Amino acid sequence: MFLKFLFFMQTIKVKQIFYKLILGFIIILQSCIEKVDYDQIATPEPKLVVNSYITPDSLMEFFVHKTSGMVDTNIYIKTGNIKVWEDDVLLATLTEHKNGHFVLPIKPKVNSKYKIVVNADDMQVSAQTSIPVPTKITGFTSIYPVGWEDQISYGPYAKFFITIDDQIINNYYELVILGYKTSLIYKKGYVLSDNAIIKAEGDNYTNQKLMFSDKMFNGQKIVFDFDAFEIINEFVIEKILIVLHTVTAEYYMYHKTLAEHYYNQGLISF
């Protein structure tokens, strides 16, 4: 009887401790909750945001917006203009826009320098860049199939080999594989590579593009290999194109950072 009573008392003490812990946890949770009135949140000073991708085969477009707070979500500018220079020569002053979308009906030139100065809603920002000389693919071979993939496409995949004649300057590349249907881009394919060049980039995620620099083969002729998934098994695809873009350092760093952000959010493509 004494042992049973002792066990009963110990059980009561354990339950009391358990209930006290729960009560304390609830009090802590309640003490961490505080209602915030949106009207009391200070809206930060707006900043201009300018996006523009310029390529030799397209007209020059600029997208100008501004940052906003949690309450005021208006990102559109009211008034603004953009001055565009090519090799230190003023090309145009753009004033007409639709919700911050400016168009200059001129195609930029390879190896030329471009500068823009944006004025909008009493704010100003400037930027400059140049279009790098493209690096051509001088050789191509493929093997299909080389294995079975069971995470993305659930089917056989192909391995491609391309030859690149790199120039003796710092180059940055973007490689994509496109599937065409009736002369239109149908979809992008997923690409992976065990090549030492890609491994040196430190990318451990699957994407619809490969971003890499020439720091390991500057000025050399190399054979670069990669695997293509999903798009190879699409029966509606009429032809496949492998596209190698020579991009700027800014474009390279932007997409590398964006890819890491998407990967950390649980996304595998962009």
Regarding predicted confidence, which is higher, 29 or 83? 83
Helix, coil or strand: residue 266: coil
Give me the pLDDT at residue 17, please: 47
Helix, coil or strand: residue 186: strand
pLDDT at residue 23 tops 50: no
Domains 48-130 and 137-264 alike in fold: yes
DSSP state letters, 34-103: ----GGGSPPPPP-EEEE----TTS-EEEEEEE---SS------SSEEEEEEETTEEEEEE---BTTEEE
Query: Where is average pLDDT lowest: 106-115, 130-139, 148-157, 254-263?
Result: 148-157
CATH code for 48-130? 2.60.40
Beta strand pairing call for 184-188 and 155-165: unpaired
Calculate mean pLDDT across residues 34-52: 79
Query: Where is average pLDDT lowest: 93-97, 144-148, 166-170, 211-215?
Result: 144-148
Q: Please, is 172 exposed, middle or buried when counting C-beta atoms within 10 Å of its C-beta (0-12, 13-18, 19+)?
A: buried
pLDDT category of residue 235 using cuts at 50, 70 and 90: low
Place of tokens 């509606």: 236
CB 217 within 8 A of CB 165: no
Specify the DSSP class assigned to residue 233.
G
Give me the pLDDT at residue 231, please: 63
How far the first Cα of the chain sits from its last, in Å, is 70
Calculate mean pLDDT across residues 212-236: 83
Calculate mean pLDDT across residues 146-173: 85
Domain 137-264 has CATH 1.20.140: no
Give me the pLDDT at residue 104, please: 96
Calculate mean pLDDT across residues 40-62: 88
Domain boundary assignment for the chain: 48-130, 137-264
